[in-house]
Amino acid sequence: MEILLPAFAAKSEKDDAASGFIERADGSGSRVAISWDVDPRPGPVAEKVARAATGLASAEALRTQVAGHEAILLRDMRGATLVWRCEKSGRLFRLASEGPRAPDVARLAKTVHCHADRLQTNGDVPAVAMAALGAPFRFANRGRGTISWMNEDEVMTLFAGQAVPAPRDADAARLAAPEWIAAAGLTDARADGAELAQGPQGHPAIAVHGGASLDGHAVRWTLLFWRCLQRQKTFAAVIFGQKTPDAAPLLAARCHG
Ligand SMILES: [Zn+2]
Ligand SMILES: [Zn+2]
Q: Which ligand is nearest to the CA of 251?
A: 2
69-123, pLDDT tens digit by residue? 999 999 999 899 999 999 999 999 999 999 999 999 999 999 999 998 777 888 9
200-231, pLDDT tens digit by residue? 999 999 999 999 999 999 999 999 999 999 99
> Nearest CA to 250 among 151, 145, 143, 121?
151
CA distance 8 to 4: 12
232 Cα–ligand 1 center, Å: 25
222 Cα–ligand 1 center, Å: 31
User: Could you give the C-alpha distances from 205 to 9, 95, 214, 228, in angstroms and in order?
Assistant: 40, 28, 26, 10
257 Cα–ligand 2 center, Å: 8
CB of 45 closer than 8 Å to CB of 36: no
According to the model, what pLDDT value does residue 161 have? 95
The domain ranges of the chain are 10-109, 127-254
The string over 209-220, giving b where at least 16 C-beta atoms fall within 10 Å of a residue's C-beta and e elsewhere, is bbbbebeeeebb
235 Cα–ligand 2 center, Å: 9
CA distance 146 to 169: 24
CA dihedral sign of residues 132, 133, 134, 139? negative
118-157, pLDDT tens digit by residue? 778 889 999 999 888 888 999 999 999 999 999 999 999 9
251 Cα–ligand 1 center, Å: 33
Q: Which ligand is nearest to the CA of 228?
A: 2
CB of 237 closer than 8 Å to CB of 206: no
pLDDT at residue 11 tops 90: no
- The CATH topology of domain 127-254 is Protein Transport Mog1p; Chain A (3.40.1000)
According to the model, what pLDDT value does residue 118 have? 78
Rounded to 5°, angle at Cα 164 from 162 and 169: 110
